[in-house]
């Protein structure tokens, strides 16, 4: 038999069986399934209205938030280039919001704008460089240290002659053209002071006294153990925890562009060689008068003028400071206090401070003159006065306890009763 004929016969026998079943399935399926699907997926008019209202509310919130950012930038006293940069970021948000995709970008932009509007561009304090007044202030807060004070007075005299104090008064805003001129640098540079001495010899208190004497805002940055240069330079936008570095934060906290910033313990940055090198390089840019007029914080990505700031460094020794950085510093060494110095400091500076801190009056706590050598050396020689202040504080607390209990009304510390208040095995001295 012809194969073609066989195939035709086979197909004619099969198709009549199969073909009629397909329409049956197609007819039954819509009748059962389709109506159910249509009913379950069809939104009601109420649902449509609610969705429309939600969308309108979302759009309104989006543009309200963007409008707030626009207003902040417009009202802020920003340099033109930085203002233009912020406005460009907002414009990008507007374009992204129109496409319904801006939520991931909004938060970083909002945080950036909130940071830059806090920077006190154009705000400076007026220096008060009257040498006699400065000397009186230094003497008021720090006993002795005459060689150190003389060096500081010489330093401030140079500042005055260089017209470094010729800046606007506090909270007076400069025009942005003047602000941008400051980014070009300053031809007259003051040296960067570095106070070197062991703990407790008055390095920090002298720095505070200088700020007080000059009517400068004061900020202390502890560099001891700093393990990452981003703490100084900031974390770039887009990175985890992006924010400005401590230098910019210090300026924001003081509210002026010319504070006195104390870089404490520059010799105690991280012991890791790579980290220390990076930190020292960042400090070099901050402290070098030829570079700090255009300091670049990684987060801001905009040059900030630090040339009007006064930087003072402290260190216990110079071993941990790189040669390049040390070359930019004017070192002032602090010697140890003598016993006679400590007695005067204890009587005239520490004891009034301790009385005030513990709520004691002059008539409630007094010292015999012959007991002071024992007070200043409870466990032997100490070059600084921090231990001395701890001794007086511990003693004053014990006296306060006795007065509160009604045991005594006042106490005079003598050689006979000193160990009643400061035993030899007290934990603070162990």
Tens digits of per-residue pLDDT, 233-254? 899 988 788 899 999 999 999 9
Digit-coded pLDDT (tens) for 368-382? 988 888 888 755 556
Digit-coded pLDDT (tens) for 185-205? 343 455 688 999 888 788 888
Q: What are the φ and ψ backbone dihedral angles of 264, each rounded to 5 degrees?
A: -85, 135
Which residues lie below 8 Å from residue 181, measured CB to CB, with a gap of 6+? none
291, 299, 292, 314: which is closest to 241 by C-alpha? 299
312 sits in which H/E element:
strand 310-315
Q: Which residue has the higher pLDDT, 299 or 182?
A: 299
Give the whole-angstrom CA distance, residue 63 versus residue 57: 10
DSSP 224: T
Digit-coded pLDDT (tens) for 46-66? 543 444 444 444 444 656 778
CA distance from start to end of the chain: 118
HSE value, Cβ hemisphere, 13 Å, CA-based, for 152: 32
Write down the pTM of the prediction: 0.69
CATH number for the domain formed by residue range(s) 131-333:
3.40.50.300
The least confident of 164-168, 308-312, 384-388 is 164-168
- The arithmetic mean of pLDDT across residues 403-410, rounded, is 90
For residue 43, pLDDT over 70 is answered with no
Domain 339-429's class? mainly alpha
Q: Which residue has the higher pLDDT, 356 or 29?
A: 356
- The arithmetic mean of pLDDT across residues 121-130, rounded, is 87
Give the whole-angstrom CA distance, residue 287 versus residue 420: 50
Which residues lie below 8 Å from residue 303, measured CB to CB, with a gap of 6+? 183, 293, 294, 295, 296
Digit-coded pLDDT (tens) for 95-110? 877 766 666 778 888 8
- The arithmetic mean of pLDDT across residues 151-165, rounded, is 75
List Cβ<8 Å contacts ≥24 apart for 240-244. 242/108, 242/111, 242/299, 243/111, 243/115, 243/299, 244/115, 244/297, 244/299, 244/300
pLDDT averaged over the chain? 76
Listed by start position, the domains of the chain span 3-37, 45-116, 131-333, 339-429
For residue 165, pLDDT over 50 is answered with no
pLDDT value, residue 62: 59
For residue 298, pLDDT over 80 is answered with yes
201, 342 contact by CB (below 8 A): no
HSE value, Cβ hemisphere, 13 Å, CA-based, for 301: 11
For residue 343, pLDDT over 70 is answered with yes
pLDDT value, residue 37: 41
172, 123 contact by CB (below 8 A): yes
């Amino acid at each position: 038999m012809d194969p073609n004929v066989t195939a035709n016969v086979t197909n004619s026998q099969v198709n009549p069986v199969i073909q009629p079943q397909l329409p049956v399935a197609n007819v039954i399926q819509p009748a059962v399934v389709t109506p159910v699907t249509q009913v379950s997926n069809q939104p009601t008019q109420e649902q449509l209205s609610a969705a429309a209202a939600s969308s309108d509310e979302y759009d309104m919130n989006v543009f309200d938030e963007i409008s707030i950012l626009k207003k902040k930038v417009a009202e802020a006293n920003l340099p033109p280039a930085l203002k233009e940069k912020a406005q460009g970021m907002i414009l990008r948000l507007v374009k992204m919001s129109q496409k319904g995709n801006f939520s991931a970008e909004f938060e970083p932009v909002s945080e950036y704008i909130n940071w830059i509007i806090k920077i006190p561009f154009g705000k400076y304090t007026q220096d008060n460089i009257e040498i006699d007044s400065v000397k009186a202030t230094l003497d008021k807060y720090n006993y002795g240290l005459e060689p150190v004070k003389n060096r500081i007075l010489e330093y401030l005299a140079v500042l005055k002659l260089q017209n470094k104090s010729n800046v606007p008064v506090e909270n007076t805003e400069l025009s942005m053209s003047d602000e941008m001129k400051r980014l070009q640098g300053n031809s007259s540079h003051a040296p960067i002071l570095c106070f070197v001495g062991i703990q407790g010899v008055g390095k920090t208190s002298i720095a505070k006294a200088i700020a007080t004497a000059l009517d400068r805002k004061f900020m202390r940055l502890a560099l001891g153990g700093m393990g990452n240069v981003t703490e100084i330079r900031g974390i770039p936008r887009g990175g985890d925890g992006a924010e400005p570095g401590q230098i910019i934060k210090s300026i924001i906290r003081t509210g002026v562009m010319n504070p006195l910033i104390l870089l404490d313990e520059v010799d105690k940055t991280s012991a890791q060689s790579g980290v220390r090198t990076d930190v020292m390089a960042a400090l070099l840019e901050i402290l070098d008068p030829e570079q700090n007029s255009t300091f670049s914080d990684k987060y801001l990505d905009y040059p900030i003028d630090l040339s009007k700031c006064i930087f003072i460094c402290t260190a216990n020794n110079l071993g941990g400071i790189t040669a390049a950085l040390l070359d930019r510093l004017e070192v002032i060494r602090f010697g140890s206090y003598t016993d006679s110095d400590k007695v005067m400091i204890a009587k005239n500076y520490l004891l009034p401070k301790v009385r005030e801190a513990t709520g004691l009056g002059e008539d409630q706590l007094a010292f015999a003159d012959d007991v002071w050598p024992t007070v200043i050396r409870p466990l032997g020689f100490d070059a600084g006065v921090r231990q001395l202040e701890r001794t007086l504080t511990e003693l004053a607390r014990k006296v306060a306890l006795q007065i509160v209990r009604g045991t005594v009304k006042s106490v005079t510390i003598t050689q006979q009763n000193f160990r009643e208040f400061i035993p030899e095995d007290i934990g603070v001295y162990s």
